Amino acid sequence: MSQTNTAERPELLVVAPLMPFLMEALCREYTIHDRIHVSDPAAFGGVAPRIRGVVANGEAKVPRELIAQLPALEVISVFGVGYDGVDVAAAHERGVPVTNTPEVLNDDVADLAIGLMIAVARRIPQADRFVRANEWPNGPIALSRKVTGGRLGVVGMGRIGQAIAHRAAAFNMEIAYTARSPRPNLNYTYYPDAASLAAVVDFLIVITPGGAGTRGMIDARVLKALGPDGYLINVARGSVVDQPALIDALRNGVIAGAGLDVFVNEPNVPEELRAMLNVVLTPHIGSGTKQTREAMGQLTFDNLRAHFSGKPLLTPVDA
Ligand code: NAP
């Protein structure tokens, strides 16, 4: 679907479903072609030479082939902090900057990570179902796992990882982390890899970027190291966890449970996971509050406006 073309307005290709308030704001300033490359490839061929900007979200794909079809492309603005779906190298080769929405979502994603950790350990969804099914009069529900004072491992101690650690400190947790390099300014114990970290914690929260660098990083070996009393929380990307290995580990008691906001082939979640009682599953809602999505939309918009008015980008992704 394309809005009416007005000559002076830059033309943008939107490659993902966007929140209505962002779409409305974009339509006021730009000529928008909403996913026309998928819905009407013939019409896309006609407008492609005029497309000056691409708007994506954290899950959208902007591959090298698409970038190559847009000779007038000047900027790619991603609604989300993760941009693993965008071929940043291909964009930068063309001199096309990519922007994302860091910082504004740290609190929400950290809140959800802590929420999932407590939900899976204290079995809140199961307890809710127990009450609704009126099982309570038949006797008490089984005991659960204490969170406060537990040992937490954070895989990826960046902006969100630090927001998670800050919250965990209020739960008197012992905090350790892994990343490719230690952060000397942080007072948490560093481990060089996920397996050695998993071996010394009760809860392992994964919050790295997705993409080739982290694919399958949480594998059978890491899960074995986490052990039968350990819980995995993934709020990063589905690709960071070897999902079949996770299903095996959950099924065979290799780990105690998992809280998962992200999956390999979203929005499709394997039936095995959906049937398990020792998991808490959420549909990629890490940043999904009205307040934060509006802040992300504003930053996505402001980056585009900065670009098209010749000002420095607010949050460009590093080359
Ligand atoms: P960030 O500030 O860039 O932090 C990323 C952290 O991961 C850094 O500590 C980095 O440290 C580490 N890291 C990167 N590659 C690694 C590797 N190969 N092995 C081990 N550690 C690695 O990013 P952020 O803003 O915290 O966001 C992190 C990610 O969260 C995003 O990229 C996105 O995928 C995910 N996210 C999910 C949701 C959701 O809805 N569930 C919402 C927002 C973000 P080193 O560079 O030292 O390795």
Q: Which of 37, 123, 284, 307 is catalytic?
A: 284
Strand partners, 34: 14
Does 315 reside within a domain?
Answer: no
Residue 41's domain spans which residues? 11-102+291-308
**Whole-number pLDDT of residue 7:** 54
Does 239 reside within a domain?
Answer: yes
**Whole-number pLDDT of residue 8:** 80
Residues 201 and 226 in one domain: yes
Q: What is the rounded distance in angstroms from the CA atom of residue 104 to the CA atom of residue 108?
A: 9
Does 62 reside within a domain?
Answer: yes
Residues 88 and 220 in one domain: no
Closest CA to 88 of 136, 56, 50: 56
Number of domains in the chain: 2
- Closest residue by CA, ligand 1 atom 36: 236
DSSP conformational letter for 168: H
- Closest residue by CA, ligand 1 atom 4: 158
Q: Is the CB of 300 under 6 A from ligand 1?
A: no
Q: Where are the alpha helices (DSSP H) in the chain?
A: 20-29, 36-39, 41-47, 64-68, 88-93, 106-122, 124-132, 159-170, 194-198, 220-226, 243-251, 271-275, 290-308
**Whole-number pLDDT of residue 5:** 47
Low-confidence ranges of the chain (pLDDT < 50): 1, 4-5
Residues 218 and 183 in one domain: yes
Give distance in angstroms: CA of 83 to centre of ligand 1.
11
For 159-191, b/e burial (b = at least 16 CB within 10 A) is ebbbbbbebbeebebbbbbbbeeeeeeeebeeb
DSSP conformational letter for 55: E
Residues 137 and 272 in one domain: yes
Q: What is the largest CA-CA distance in the chain?
A: 71
Q: What is the CATH number of the domain that holds 163?
A: 3.40.50.720
Residues 83 and 225 in one domain: no
DSSP string, 172-207: T-EEEEE-SS--TTS-SEEESSHHHHHTT-SEEEE-
Closest CA to 231 of 198, 273, 207: 198
Q: Is the CB of 208 under 6 A from ligand 1?
A: yes
Count of residues in the chain: 319
Give distance in angstroms: CA of 160 to centre of ligand 1.
7
Does 286 reside within a domain?
Answer: no
Residues 58 and 129 in one domain: no
**Whole-number pLDDT of residue 33:** 98
266 included as an active-site residue: yes
pLDDT digits (tens, 9 = 90+) for 169-196: 999 999 999 999 999 999 999 999 999 9
Q: What type of residue is 272?
A: E
**Whole-number pLDDT of residue 191:** 98
8 Å CB contact between 240 and 210: yes
